[in-house]
């Protein structure tokens, strides 16, 4: 835990679900409605610092959150899942968090390339 970390010091009312290793909040700057962050309870900056048990727990938790989002909004037809790992990848909060971004048919003109849009010139192929 870090005194200066925003995720280590979130108000409890922001947490919408949790398990022993992770908790979930809705993103404060959502890309789409119900955009969620799966956040490690252990203060670590990188996905690559997770133990194999934490990775297994995270995958289970991601699946349960995906199911919960689809139950809330059946118009969700896909997801982008990802993490910004390191400053050059766009990470601004150095506490591991996975973005779970619900997608709906028609939410962008051309979704092809998805996550490749992190580098716009490389999205289309």
CB 123 within 8 A of CB 108: no
pLDDT of residue 111: 87
pLDDT of residue 76: 98
- Neighbouring CB atoms inside 10 A of 73's CB total 12
Q: Quote the radius of gyration of the chain (alpha carbons, Å).
A: 15
Mind listing the pLDDT tens digit for each residue in 58-72?
999 999 999 999 999
Query: Would you name the residues annotated as active-site residues?
Result: 97
- Neighbouring CB atoms inside 10 A of 2's CB total 11
Q: How many residues does the chain have?
A: 125
Q: Is the pLDDT of residue 1 over 80?
A: no
pLDDT range class, residue 78, cuts 50, 70, 90: very high
CA neighbor of 76 nearest in space, from 103, 39, 111? 103
Pairing of strands 97-104, 76-82: antiparallel
CA distance 50 to 54: 6
Domains and their CATH numbers in the chain: 12-106 (3.30.428.10)
């Amino acid at each position: 835990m870090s005194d200066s970390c925003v995720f280590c010091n979130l108000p409890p009312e922001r947490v919408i679900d949790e398990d022993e290793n992770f908790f979930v909040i809705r993103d404060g700057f959502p890309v789409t409605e119900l955009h969620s962050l799966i956040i490690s309870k252990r203060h670590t900056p990188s996905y690559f610092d997770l133990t194999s048990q934490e990775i297994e727990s995270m995958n289970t938790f991601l699946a349960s959150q995906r199911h919960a989002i689809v139950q809330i909004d059946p118009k969700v037809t896909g997801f982008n899942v990802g993490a910004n790992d390191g400053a050059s990848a766009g990470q601004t909060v150095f506490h591991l968090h996975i973005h779970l971004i619900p997608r709906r048919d028609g939410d962008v003109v051309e979704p092809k390339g998805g996550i490749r849009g992190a580098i716009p010139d490389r999205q289309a192929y």
